[in-house]
């Protein structure tokens, strides 16, 4: 019969004095480390709806769709925790660095339906005042205008949003009703237009 090694005896004595190494979960809540990658969550206040997270998600857990509604248009973003692999690509590529983040919450199992394992947020869309095509979410345009500061005056659409934030111009965060597609005139340049209509307005003016 072999005698146990001295190191093993030391470890056994420590375990008797300090208690077992295993955690008491689920009887006591487990506290993950700060760098733990748990449930992915949208922070609606900081998210601008740019869909960068959906474009870099390798498992397709983040999706979006643009929906027209009565007088408005919206972008619906969804993250599915049953498909998420917690890689952190969405957080690393977030435009605002706070719109979507990995939390420390790991206990997301359920005996219910898979539809419960998801989070959905909505963002208002800004449409071209000429053709009605989607330009970008309202929050993304405002974030870009604030980021550029004085440089925003080089773009008429961003300028209108920037001035609107200071109550110096009237802007509508909802869906603009597009006028009939006619020949664009010079005064159409000072409107919220998509890139295609803006190019046409500049050329024709």
Tens-digit pLDDT profile for residues 80-137 = 999 999 999 999 999 999 999 999 888 888 888 888 899 999 999 988 888 888 889 9
- Report the 10 Å Cβ neighbour count for 127: 23
Final residue belonging to a domain, choices 63, 96, 125: 125
| Residues 11, 31: Cα–Cα separation, whole Å | 24
For residue 127, what pLDDT is reported? 87
Give the global pTM: 0.74
Residue 32 has pLDDT above 60, yes or no: yes
- Which H/E stretch holds residue 136? strand 134-137
- Report the 10 Å Cβ neighbour count for 75: 22
Do 42 and 114 share a domain, yes or no? yes
Residue 173 has pLDDT above 50, yes or no: no
Structural domain contains residue 8: no
Domain holding 69, by residue range, is 33-125
Number of domains in the chain: 2
Do 145 and 171 share a domain, yes or no? yes
Question: Pick the residue with more confidence: 53 or 26?
Answer: 53
């Amino acid at each position: 019969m072999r005698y146990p090694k001295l190191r093993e005896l030391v470890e056994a004595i420590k375990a008797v004095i300090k208690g077992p190494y295993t955690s008491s979960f689920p009887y006591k809540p487990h506290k993950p480390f700060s760098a733990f990658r748990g449930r992915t969550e949208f922070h609606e206040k900081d998210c601008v709806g740019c869909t960068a997270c959906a474009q870099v998600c390798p498992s397709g857990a983040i999706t979006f769709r643009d929906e027209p509604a009565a007088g408005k248009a919206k972008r619906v973003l969804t993250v599915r925790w049953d498909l998420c692999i917690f890689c952190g690509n969405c957080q690393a590529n977030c435009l605002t660095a706070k719109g979507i983040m990995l939390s420390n919450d790991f206990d997301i199992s359920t005996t219910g339906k898979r539809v419960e394992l998801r989070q959905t947020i909505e963002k208002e869309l800004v449409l071209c005042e000429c053709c009605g095509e989607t330009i970008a979410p309202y929050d993304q345009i405002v974030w870009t205008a604030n980021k550029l500061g004085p440089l925003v005056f080089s773009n008429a659409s961003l300028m209108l949003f920037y001035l609107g934030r200071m109550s110096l111009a009237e802007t509508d965060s909802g869906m603009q009703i597009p006028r009939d597609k006619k020949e664009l005139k010079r005064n159409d340049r000072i409107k919220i237009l998509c890139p295609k209509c803006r190019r046409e307005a500049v050329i024709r003016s």
